[in-house]
Amino acid sequence: MQDILKVGIAGLGTVGASVVRLMAKRDNLLSEAAGRRIKVVAVSARSRDKDRGIVLDGMRWVEDPIALATDSGIDVFVELIGGAGDPAKQAVEAALGAGKAVVTANKALLATHGTALARRAEKKGVALNFEAAVAGGIPVIKTLREGLVGNAIERVYGILNGTCNYILSRMADEGISFEDCLKDAQRLGYAEADPTFDVDGFDTAHKLALLTSLAFGTLVDTKGISIEGIRSIKPVDLKMADELGYRVKLLGVALRTADGVEQRVHPTFVPKDSAIAQVNGVLNAVAIDADAVDLTLVGPGAGGDATASAVIADIADIARGHRTAPFIRPVASLTQPTRAPLTHHEGGYYIRLEVVDRPGTAARIASRMAQNKISLESIVQRRSGPVRGGTDPAAADAPAPVVLITYATTEAAVQRALRSMDTDGVLLGRPQVIRIERS
Ligand SMILES: NC(=O)C1=CN([C@@H]2O[C@H](COP(=O)(O)OP(=O)(O)OC[C@H]3O[C@@H](n4cnc5c(N)ncnc54)[C@H](O)[C@@H]3O)[C@@H](O)[C@H]2O)C=CC1
Ligand SMILES: N[C@@H](CC=O)C(=O)O
Ligand code: NA
């Protein structure tokens, strides 16, 4: 067998510890598959004494991750610290500068500095692999970089955050509160160190930005993404979705339109009978619509072992001497994407309104929708206040939810209709607006 590929790992948390454990377990198999022995020779993390349930015998401990990145005893630097700033950024820059191949699971770092890092990797002729950064254990980066390279891609979309899918699935199926579901996702190692990245949609946006670049040959553009998280989703929305034949998923969608690239992250109604609606819990799904092939990949999007599986595959590629440009094409040929405005978005909508419960309100809503050329597929009115005809004087103006499902329309028309209802004085509180994605 040839010489050994020497690996240094910075970060021994959920993912790092799984990488060390799985690499030890698969030692022979991995070496056979890669045609070369792969060995973790040095590690770095915040606390040396912490019990991680892994064996670090034979691995040097390096206090400073940046020192490890340039250590002459390693060939590959694996960054599993996280965060778009230092020390992760400085360590990856240092490793590439020193001509080391880099493997990272850090989507925040790549979404923010991916282009610059890819340029550095290119200059040194080394790999910058990040399979674990998008949809955890699903080999979607390899699919886009290699398997679909002969396709022109029209749309890439999917469930890209395991924590949110876990929360939405359990809220819908078990009636568990948002807060309790989030606590469980953190305990299971799915959530980011700061879980607001998950629930407010930023983690999905980071991953979407990388997918968009790979799919459309554009520079990584997080600023062009419209982002909404899942905090506003109430049990009533999940219940209405169920009654109306939908599931609610946090989707990241990148679409080529006549106006440019539309990139959006938001909770979405998906038809119950669609493939994506069946993807629950921590599972992710990435659907790719291309000219020659349409496909959907499904698999675990978060968790130590699932993510480690992708990290190890990236290391194995380096051991094989297999290298592709980080974003498929050389950075110089990536184009600046034209951003399609969200107001031009076309599709169906779920709209939940809290309205004053008095005669004529439903007619007023229907007429405002008609004025904006919005056709309604269904309208459901629920009485939440006291029974009409009762003696309670507060009953007259009690809030009552009205739920609308529209046929395809534009975002601009929906916003105009809601503004006009607001001036009519029929709305109580902010309308809930959820886009519908047909697959
Ligand atoms: N947990 C998951 O399911 C997934 C995580 N990722 C990404 O993988 C990376 C690691 O995530 P986790 O393992 O979940 O995080 P974690 O928080 O469990 O582990 C982070 C590790 O980095 C070390 N670290 C943190 N700050 C440090 C510093 N200043 N200096 C030295 N070491 C430091 C910590 O000691 C710890 O060992 C992140 O970029 C994350 O976004 C990607 C896909 C899935
Ligand atoms: N926090 C992320 C981890 C994987 O990227 C998620 O929940 O998907
Ligand atoms: Na992946």
> What is the pLDDT confidence band of residue 21, given thresholds at 50, 70 and 90?
very high
Provide φ and ψ at 195, rounded to 5°.
-70, -10
| pLDDT class of 101 with cuts at 50, 70, 90 | very high
Which ligand is nearest the CA of 310, by number? 3
pLDDT, residue 382, reads 75
The predicted pLDDT at position 359 comes to: 85
Mean pLDDT over residues 326-339, rounded? Answer: 96
- The predicted model gives 323-348 an average pLDDT of 95
Pinpoint the residues of the chain covered by CATH 3.30.360.10.
Answer: 140-302+326-342
Ligand number, closest to the Cα atom of 304: 1
Determine the distance separating the centroid of ligand 1 and the alpha carbon of 110, expressed in angstroms. 14
**The predicted structure's pLDDT at residue 216:** 97
Q: What is the pLDDT of residues 179-210, one digit of tens each?
A: 999 999 999 999 999 999 999 999 999 999 99
Which pLDDT score, from 0 to 100, does residue 2 have? Answer: 59
Pocket of ligand 2 contains residue 161 by CB under 6 Å: yes
Calculate how far, in angstroms, residue 138's C-alpha sits from the geometric centre of ligand 3. Answer: 4
Question: Which segments are annotated as binding site for NADPH?
Answer: 107
Is the model's pLDDT at 314 over the cut of 50? Answer: yes
Q: Using a 6 Å CB cutoff, which residues line ligand 1? A: 11-16, 45-46, 65, 80-82, 87, 105-107, 132, 136, 189-190, 192-193, 302-303, 307
Across the chain, mean pLDDT equals 94
The tens digit of pLDDT for each residue in 121-169 reads 999 999 999 999 999 999 999 999 999 999 999 999 999 999 999 999 9
Task: Give residue 399's pLDDT band: very low, low, confident or very high (50, 70, 90).
Answer: low
Instruction: For 208-251, write each residue's pLDDT tens digit.
Output: 999 999 999 999 999 999 999 999 999 999 999 999 999 999 99
Please measure the distance between the N-terminal and C-terminal CA atoms of the chain and give it in whole angstroms. Answer: 48
Percent of the chain with pLDDT over 90: 89
Take atom 3 of ligand 2 and give the residue whose Cα is closest. 302
Using alpha carbons only, give the angle 120, 125, 126 rounded to the nearest 5 degrees. Answer: 80
The complex's ipTM works out to: 0.99
Residue tagged active-site, from 50, 207, 223, 373? 207
Q: How high is the pLDDT of residue 282?
A: 98
Residue from 62, 80, 187 whose mutation best tests the ligand 1 pocket (most atoms within 8 A of CB): 80
Question: Considering only CA atoms, which of 410, 409, 427 is closest in space to residue 418?
Answer: 427
User: What is the band of 389 on the pLDDT scale with cuts at 50, 70, 90?
Assistant: very low
pLDDT tier at 393, thresholds 50, 70, 90: very low
Superfamily of domain 345-436: ACT domain (3.30.70.260)
Tell me the backbone φ, ψ of residue 365, rounded to 5 degrees.
-60, -50
Residue limits of CATH 3.30.70.260 in the chain: 345-436
Is residue 89 annotated as a catalytic residue, yes or no?
no
pLDDT at 283 exceeding the cut of 90:
yes
Pick the CATH number of 5-133 from 3.40.50.720, 3.20.20.70, 3.90.850.10, 2.40.110.10: 3.40.50.720
Answer yes or no: is pLDDT of 14 > 50. yes
CATH number of the domain at 140-302+326-342, please? 3.30.360.10
Distance CA 56, CA 73 (A): 17
- Binding-site residues for L-homoserine sit at 192
**Does residue 384 surpass a pLDDT of 70?**
no
pLDDT exceeds cutoff 70 at 357: yes
Confidence at 398, pLDDT banded by 50, 70, 90: low
pLDDT at 352 over 60: yes
Residue 127's pLDDT is what?
98
Q: Which ligand is closest to the CA of 137, given by its number? A: 3
CATH 3.40.50.720 intervals, the chain: 5-133
Ligand 2 centre from 300 Cα, in Å?
10
